[in-house]
Structure 1
Amino acid sequence: MTTVALHTRLLAGKEADYDRIHAVIPTELDAALRDAGVHGWTIYRSGRELFHLVECDDYAAMRAFLRDHPANIPWQARMDELLEVGDDYSGSDTGISLVWALPAEPAR
């Protein structure tokens, strides 16, 4: 399993809409994400800045699976109305580079 960090930005004034829409995602999208190998997707928001942590089997494969999925297409169209820069759907992104992480166990 891999963890990928992502960053997106909301259009000004869309914060409440984004929070409301994400309160409960469509069941079809939930199922599609799980079928694509997603084990967890957490989103943090600071103002208009969104930070995502995606835990999945294979990020590139997940993106390819969802690119034309009938549950994902309307969801992405909805997100395009809220985000400053929409997704290009190519799946070629690799996320934010990891700089440092506190190890689970201290160095000895």
Structure 2
Amino acid sequence: MRVTPHTRVRADRVAEYEAAQREVPEELTDAVRAAGATSWTIRRSRTDLVHVLEGEDCARLLAEPEGLPVDVARQARMADLPDVVHDHSGDGADAGLPVVQELP
């Protein structure tokens, strides 16, 4: 299964957001993998970000780490970046990216 939550970050905070993403604690990546993630890539186009998550049960891999001390600390760190907007609605977290064109 693949889901694609969306994030938007303020233009003047892109570098800070990317720096924060390079500092994800190993304990948190281990927890996400243990919850079933096989891949998590974030792609950016200007200030729009698309998170491409893959795993057997993406709802589980998003929910299971919640509440772990390392996730609570991480969420607090990311909350310090104002105007980062996460779309966890049905149009975001559960939405796939439709294929518009694919090289045969």
Structure 2: state its 5+ residue gaps: none
1:4 and 2:8 are equivalent in the alignment = no
TM-score, length basis structure 1: 0.75
Distance 2:68 2:75 in 1: 10
Judged with a 3 Å threshold, the aligned counterparts in structure 2 of structure 1 residues 50 and 83 are, in CA distance, closer, same or farther, namely farther
Aligned residues: 102
Is this contact kept in 2: 1:60–1:92, CA < 8 A?
no
Q: CA deviation at 1:31?
A: 0.9
Structure 1: state its 5+ residue gaps: none
Query: Where do residues 1-108 of structure 1 align in structure 2 (5 Å cutoff)?
Result: 2-82=1-81, 84-85=83-84, 93=90, 94-100=93-99
Judged with a 3 Å threshold, the aligned counterparts in structure 2 of structure 1 residues 73 and 83 are, in CA distance, closer, same or farther, namely same
Higher mean C-alpha displacement, 77-86 vs 93-102: 93-102
Q: CA deviation at 1:57?
A: 1.8
Q: Percent identity?
A: 35
Q: CA deviation at 1:100?
A: 2.8
TM-score, length basis structure 2: 0.77
